[in-house]
Amino acid sequence: MDEPMNALKSVDVALAEFNALRAEILARITAQTTIASVGLTASGVAVGFAFSERGSVQVAAVVPFFAACIIVVYVFESVRIIFLGYYIREKLWMHFRAFVNPFPPSWESYVIDKEGPRILAVGVGEALIVTIFFLLGIVLTVWIPGLPLALRIASSAALAASIVISLVMLKITQRKTRGTS
C-alpha cells in the first residue's frame, strides 16, 4: 500500500511544482507587459519634456540607452519563460507520464510535432516590442538636434549591443533546449 501512496504523493508534488512554474510564467509575462508599458511611458515623457518650452533636447539623449536596457531585460524575461516551459515539457511531463496512462495530450508537444522546435521564433509580440524600442532609440539618436557625435556613437553602440546580447541569450537558450520533443 505504500507504493501507490508514494506514487500519488509524487504526482501531487509534481502537480504543485507545475502550478508554481505556471504562476511564475504568468508573473514573467506580467513583468514583460510592465517593462514595455513603463518603457514606452518613460520614453514618451522624456521626449515630451525634451521638446517642451522649459525642456532640453539633451534629455531625449537618455532614451536610446534606456531603450537598450529595456530590450535586454524584456528578452531576458522571454528566455526565462522558454526555460520554464522547457522544464515543464521535458522534466515534469516525463514524470507524469510514468504515473498516468494514457497520458493526456500536451499543447507544446503538439506544436513541436507540427512545426518543429522554434526557439528563435520568440513570438510576434516580443519581436514587435524589441523593434519598437530599437527604432525609437535609433530615430532619437539620429534626429536629436545638437547631439554630440560621441553621444550618437555611444547610443548607437548601446542599441546594437542590446540586439547582440538578446540574440546571444536566445542562441544559448536554443542550444540548451535543443533536441527536445
Tens-place pLDDT, residues 67-109: 999 999 999 999 999 899 889 988 888 888 887 777 777 776 7
Full domain range(s) for residue 97 = 2-177
Report pLDDT for 181. Answer: 41
Domains of the chain: total: 1
What rounded mean pLDDT belongs to the chain?
85
Report pLDDT for 124. Answer: 67
Does pLDDT of 180 surpass 50?
A: no
Does pLDDT of 128 surpass 90?
A: no
Report pLDDT for 133. Answer: 92
Burial 7-32 (b: 16+ CB within 10 A, else e): eeeeeeebeeebeebeeebeebeebb
